[in-house]
Amino acid sequence: MAIPVTDNRKSFGLGSILLHWVTALMIIGMYPLGLYIGTLTYYDADYHTVPYWHKSIGMVLIGLMLVRALWRTINTTPAPLPQPKPMLFATKAAHLLLYLLTATTLISGYMISTADGRGIEVFNWFEIPALPAVTENQEDIAGEIHYLTATTLISLAAIHALAALKHHFIDKDRTLTRMINMRQETNQ
């Protein structure tokens, strides 16, 4: 059976699945790349190249998150699987926190990169213009926020992944299979 593009009340469609996994892989890849940037000195061969890639991927990720937010508003969301109310609350809170941390990390990254008034060149395709600085030492303040939120985000993403594995191997429910779509379920 072909996987539908949109979600239904029982499972996620191909659109949501691709948006989820592409976003996840980008975030997972960006974290060690950002840590590596922190080790570079002016004389390192990667001093200009790696930050350029990090910024470009970050700007693509902002666009992807906007598409994801739009997709979420125009698409049906699968009904939650049965679980205790405190667990349902924790699940919703964790998902909201993942979105907020991602947004904060991306915005603070933009603020670091544009603090000097220069825009961000995205893979030589186009430039995202800089907004005027909002505070003195914007680069330093945004840098602290960026590191803290990125580290919290990657930690929460790891907990999210472990929870999905727990659901799959211990609880033996459909939480993980709905997002990798191993078995497509029909509407209602």
Dihedral (CA of 85, 72, 177, 24) sign: negative
pLDDT on residue 188: 42
Q: How far apart are CA 64 and CA 106, in angstroms?
A: 11
pLDDT reading at 50 higher than 50 = yes
Among the ranges given (7-11, 56-60, 103-107, 123-127), the one the predictor scored with the smallest mean pLDDT = 7-11
pLDDT on residue 2: 77
* More reliable by pLDDT, 71 or 184: 71
How many CB atoms within 10 Å of residue 174?
Answer: 17
Task: Give percent above pLDDT 70 in the chain.
Answer: 96
Task: Single out the residue of 92, 89, 98 nearest to residue 152, CA to CA.
Answer: 98
Dihedral (CA of 6, 7, 12, 18) sign: positive
CA distances from 33 to 10, 73, 112 (A): 37, 31, 16
Q: Categorize the per-residue pLDDT at 187 as very low, low, confident or very high, splitting at 50, 70 and 90.
A: very low
Over the stretch 83-103, which tens digit does the pLDDT of each residue have? 999 999 999 999 999 999 999
Beta bridge partners of residue 121, listed in sequence order? 127
pLDDT on residue 3: 82
pLDDT reading at 175 higher than 70 = yes
pLDDT on residue 181: 78
Report the mean per-residue pLDDT for the chain: 94
Taking each helix axis from N to C end, the angle separating 85-113 and 49-74, rounded to the nearest 10 degrees, works out to: 140
